[in-house]
Amino acid sequence: MGKVKSAIVLTLITIVIAVLCVVCFVPFPCDGNGLNYFNSILGIAEKDADLGGYLIGETEYVGGGYSAVLYPEGVISGRDYENDLAAAAEDEKEEFEADYQAYADGAIYLEKETVLDGENVSESFKEDFSRAVSVLEERLERLHLPGASVRVVNDYTVGVFLPASYYVAGAAFDHLGRMGELTVSFGSDEASAETIIPAQRGTEQPASYYIKKISSRTASGVSYVILDMTDEGREAIAEATEGATSSYIYFNIGGEPLITLSVSEQIDQSSLYISGSYDEDSSLLVATVLDTALSSGTEQDLTFSVGEISEERAGYGSNALTMLYIALGVLLAGSAVFFFVRYGRLGFAHLYTLLVYLIAMTLCIWSIDFLTLGVGSVLAVLFGAVALSVSEAAAYEYVRKEFAAGKTMTFAVKSGYKKCFWHIFDAHIVLAALGFITYFIALTELSVFAFTLGIGMFFSGLCALAVGRFLWYIMMPFAKDKAKFCRFKREEVEEDD
């Protein structure tokens, strides 16, 4: 490639990399008064709850979170049992004790009439509990909360953890535990409201016959819960609200209202947009709970009560995020310095290649839903950067040997990369396969690290074998002495006397 073409291509590549670096890594104020702030991709990428620190450009703490235990109907904690027993009248204590059976060494108590079949937990309760846990898991999966988790505790209670960055965590525990059939009622108050969906007209159709789906949307700073109605649902709402004044529509789960819509005139619309005090998080939470109840809720579903909510700090400390950024920056800077010292201006090719790799990995962590910025993902990115640096150093050494043996720089590059290609390719394929296999065999503790490692090895190999070589190719025409450009030397050959 000629010098002019190389200059044009290199200039374009430099501009693209510079813009992507700003977008991915550099936050900055958008106006003079600092009210509007551009946050980088790295700043808005979801953070692991165990990774303490602060959002870039923000003062909001990220890391740690809130945990609570959800108790299904018929199950209470050992402490509540003791408190209720102590508060009972003397003539009621014996009857109260007879109603419950201790379980898990007294950690929880099971109501005999609701939960047990004789001395054992009934199969119907086990099935209902299992279905409720599945609904909880689906709801958290839809919310895409970094570090959030659902786990069964003592066989018949559910521990839920929500990250501190989730602003509506307090309400979320109650909302997530809402189980049962979705119904819609209408009236002047909750007590007198009559059910209109499912319609009380002799039909056995469920709520999904009237409502297609429930979603959320935020536009111009206003958040909505959106109910898309079928023709039958639109007709049911229009019929009920005809001539209405100062009335309400209640959207209930398990017979309890979750949201309320004020009605001052007839509603005859194919989609209902419900706003109010919602923000993006709360509208998504409500829509998720309603939509899962629409698709799977039944009258027989267990209801959950929320135990005491406790706050948990980040497992790796409140400064872990900052320290990881510093450590990653130091190690990557050290890699760049090594290449400049050993390979001269060829270090620019490595620097560009390293930036391309980091940009690609940052975009992957941001765009792939289940990936979070945490210790596992940062270590995987760092491992990929090390593999990239080692691979490029190995390729450069192969080229150095070819050049020292007497070949021209162009042929030395071709020959050197050809000789090391399969070594680098095989190593990256093996490591990528190991990462993806570890992820797919469901090792939960390693899932983020393993998947990120697999992606990292792909981009590391691609950058080492293709991007780095291409950048070397387009930078080479600017050097008058190609050997000095790379700090390569010919082998000295002794002449015979």
pLDDT at 353 over 70: yes
Residues 192 and 111 in one domain: no
Cα 361 to chain centroid, rounded:
15
CA 421/CA 33 separation, integer angstroms: 53
Which domain-ending residue is among 167, 189, 211? Answer: 167
pLDDT at 497: 43
pLDDT at 496: 47
Mean pLDDT in residue range 391-396: 94
Select the highest-mean-pLDDT range: 218-227, 290-299, 381-390, 438-447: 381-390
Classify strands 53-54 and 61-62 as parallel, antiparallel or unpaired. Answer: antiparallel
Report the chain's mean pLDDT, rounded to a whole number: 86
Who wins on pLDDT, 45 or 74? 74
State how many domains the chain has. 3
pLDDT at 146 over 70: no
pTM of the model: 0.63
Instruction: Tell me if 174 is assigned to some domain.
Output: no
Residues 363 and 465 in one domain: yes
Instruction: Tell me if 494 is assigned to some domain.
Output: no
Cβ neighbors of 222 (< 8 A, separation 6 or more) are 275
Instruction: Tell me if 57 is assigned to some domain.
Output: no
Select the highest-mean-pLDDT range: 212-221, 227-236, 435-444: 227-236
pLDDT at 51: 72
Instruction: Tell me if 123 is assigned to some domain.
Output: yes
Give the pLDDT band of residue 493 (cuts 50, 70, 90). Answer: very low
CATH number at residue 233: 3.30.1360.200
Q: Does residue 160 contact residue 176 with C-beta atoms inside 8 Å?
A: yes
Residues 158 and 245 in one domain: no
Residues 196 and 333 in one domain: no
pLDDT at 495: 47
Q: Is the peptide bond before 198 cis (omega within 30 degrees of 0)?
A: yes
pLDDT at 461 over 50: yes
Cβ neighbors of 123 (< 8 A, separation 6 or more) are 117
pLDDT at 373 over 50: yes
Instruction: Tell me if 230 is assigned to some domain.
Output: yes
Which domain-ending residue is among 167, 190, 225? Answer: 167
> pLDDT digits over 59-102, tens only?
555 677 888 999 999 999 999 999 999 998 888 888 999 999 99
Q: Torsion-angle region of residue 487: left (phi > 0), alpha (psi -120 to 50) or beta?
A: left
pLDDT at 483: 85
Instruction: Tell me if 70 is assigned to some domain.
Output: yes
Q: Where are the alpha helices (DSSP H) in 53-168?
A: 78-87, 90-99, 112-115, 123-143
What are the b/e assignments for 57-94, b being 16+ CB within 10 Å?
Answer: beeebbbbbbbbbbbbbbbbbbebbeeeeeeeeeeeee
Residues 251 and 161 in one domain: no
Which domain-ending residue is among 296, 328, 354? Answer: 296
- Give residue for tokens 């900055």: 28
> pLDDT digits over 252-289, tens only?
998 889 998 999 899 999 999 998 788 888 999 999 99
Give the pLDDT band of residue 443 (cuts 50, 70, 90). Answer: low
Select the highest-mean-pLDDT range: 43-57, 69-83, 366-380: 69-83
CA 166/CA 146 separation, integer angstroms: 9
Structure token pair of residue 57: 């450009």
Structure token pair of residue 178: 């809402």
Q: Does residue 373 contact residue 379 with C-beta atoms inside 8 Å?
A: no
Q: Does residue 272 contact residue 261 with C-beta atoms inside 8 Å?
A: yes
Candidates 407, 367, 395; CA nearest to 463 is 395
pLDDT at 1 over 70: no
Residues 163 and 185 in one domain: no
Residues 210 and 150 in one domain: no
> pLDDT digits over 466-490, tens only?
999 999 988 888 878 888 888 888 7
pLDDT at 60: 55
Give the pLDDT band of residue 36 (cuts 50, 70, 90). Answer: low
Instruction: Tell me if 60 is assigned to some domain.
Output: no
Residues 350 and 246 in one domain: no
Residues 97 and 41 in one domain: no
- Taken in order 371, 329, 346, 402, the sign of the CA dihedral is negative
Q: Give the residue numbers spanning the domain of 117.
A: 65-167
pLDDT at 445: 61
pLDDT at 494: 47
Give the pLDDT band of residue 492 (cuts 50, 70, 90). Answer: low
Residues 281 and 363 in one domain: no
Measured in degrees and rounded to the nearest 5, phi and psi for residue 52 equal: -80, 155
Helix and strand totals (H; E) in the chain: 16, 21
Mean pLDDT in residue range 165-187: 88
CA 429/CA 86 separation, integer angstroms: 65
pLDDT at 449 over 80: yes
pLDDT at 34: 46
Give the pLDDT band of residue 408 (cuts 50, 70, 90). Answer: confident
Q: Where are the alpha helices (DSSP H) in 100-230?
A: 112-115, 123-143, 169-176
Structure token pair of residue 257: 């209202």
CATH number at residue 479: 1.20.1640.10
Q: In angstroms, how far apart are the furthest CA atoms of the chain?
A: 120
114, amino acid identity: T
Structure token pair of residue 496: 């015979």
- Give residue for tokens 């450069």: 396
The three-class DSSP label of residue 407 is coil
Residues 45 and 76 in one domain: no
Residues 328 and 457 in one domain: yes
Instruction: Tell me if 356 is assigned to some domain.
Output: yes
Q: Where are the alpha helices (DSSP H) in 297-346?
A: 320-343
